[in-house]
Amino acid sequence: MKKTITIGSDHAGYSLKIKVIGHLKEIGWDVIDVGTNDESSCDYPDFAHAVCKNIQDGVTELGILICGTGIGMSMAANKHHGIRAAACSDTFSARLTREHNNANVLCFGERVVGYGVACDLVDAFLNAEFQGGKHQRRIDKIMDLEKTEF
């Protein structure tokens, strides 16, 4: 059974997104690309929203967001209920964010990582599994914050 992932980028991540889509297909994933579709200047929150909406609606369980650094995308994504997005630039963090934080969105930046590292990040993220246990208690506390007004 093929797995499906949603991916999006702004103009600063477009070139790397196209390459990452190729990698995802090579390793057996179906990909829903929510844009952008070229390098024309655009607003990253629009694409963060599109990826997160697919996850919230149950279209896919996981997403990838690419911008210049990954930071803006992760900030925008984490405003969505049920989303745990992490900006990663090393494979240790990409693996641990799934194992310990049960992240459902991986973010990274085209200006920070190249194609090889991006593929390694994707592989580490997708091959890791949530460990549960004490980590579930911590995730529950994070998710409870969405119910609280500060």
Query: Active-site residue numbers?
Result: 67, 100
Within 13 Å of residue 65, how many CA atoms lie on the same side as its CB? 35
CB 143: neighbour CB atoms within 10 A? 13
Q: How far apart are CA 106 and CA 48, in angstroms?
A: 11
What the block records as the tokens of 61 is: 């369980």
For residue 91, CA distances in Å to 24, 94, 98 come to 16, 5, 11
Distance, CA of 10 to CA of 129 (rounded, Å)? 28
Strand partners, 5: 31, 62
In angstroms, what CA-CA distances link 80 with 30, 48, 113, 128, 133? Answer: 24, 9, 25, 23, 25
